[in-house]
Amino acid sequence: MIPMGNSRDLTTQRGYDFYEVASALQKSIRRADVKLAGYMALELFPRYAEYCWKRLLTISAEDCYGLVTQEIKALYDSFWVINKGKRGDELKGRIFISKAVIILCTCGHSRDADLLSNFIYDKKALLSDEKIEQLFEEVRREHLEIPDYVYDVHTRRGKMMGKTKQDFFREEEAALANKQMSLFDLYDLL
């Protein structure tokens, strides 16, 4: 919810223009500028805390890749658990906003959801319906080869090639993109 009142009067705690802070928050997250994004998010806190959360949730869907929105929603819910019955200057828990900003800055970024929405609903979209249909037709005609890594112990062809579960675990572990530390990295299981 955008705060009520004359838009010229909407300022943050340090006197910044509310709309400029909101814009800086989103654009700094897109650029993974944690320091500026954190500053701007907390500039909205506590006076515009609810708006800040709505903006962070929108950013998670509009600018971020993957399933990060659920994580931001969980932080939002946690924020309100510790603030049950509180309002305004009584609000605590800016750590949840800070954590949301860090997650949004450090996750993968993609504007695909916003682009898709605009391509479908914006009458001034860059691509006409005809151009979109032409691109779909090109994709439909394209024949992709199935990569060799598909053939493992779980497929008939993989079994015929002598692939084992050990091969599967070793190859799939080695192929992980954006691999995170595993609980099992300390053990030589593979």
One-character DSSP codes across 39-90:
HHHHHSTTTTHHHHHHHHHHHHHHTB-SSHHHHHHHHHHHHHHHTTT--GGG
What domains sit in the chain, N to C, each tagged with a CATH number?
Answer: 7-106 (1.20.272.10), 112-141 (no CATH)
Predicted local confidence at residue 123, as pLDDT? 53
Q: What angle do CA 119, 108, 135 make, to 5 degrees?
A: 30
C-beta neighbour count of 25 within 10 angstroms: 25
pLDDT, one tens digit per residue, over 51-64 is: 999 999 999 999 88
> Could you give the CA distance from residue 125 to residue 127 in angstroms, rounded to a whole number?
5
Counting beta carbons within 10 angstroms of the beta carbon of residue 44, is it exposed (0 to 12), middle (13 to 18) or buried (19 or more)?
buried
> Could you give the CA distance from residue 146 to residue 166 in angstroms, rounded to a whole number?
22
**Is residue 120 very low, low, confident or very high in pLDDT (cuts 50, 70, 90)?**
low
> What are the tokens at 17?
């223009």
pLDDT at position 20 over 90: yes
Predicted local confidence at residue 168, as pLDDT? 79
pLDDT, one tens digit per residue, over 125-177 is: 566 778 777 877 776 776 666 778 778 887 888 899 999 988 877 888 777 66
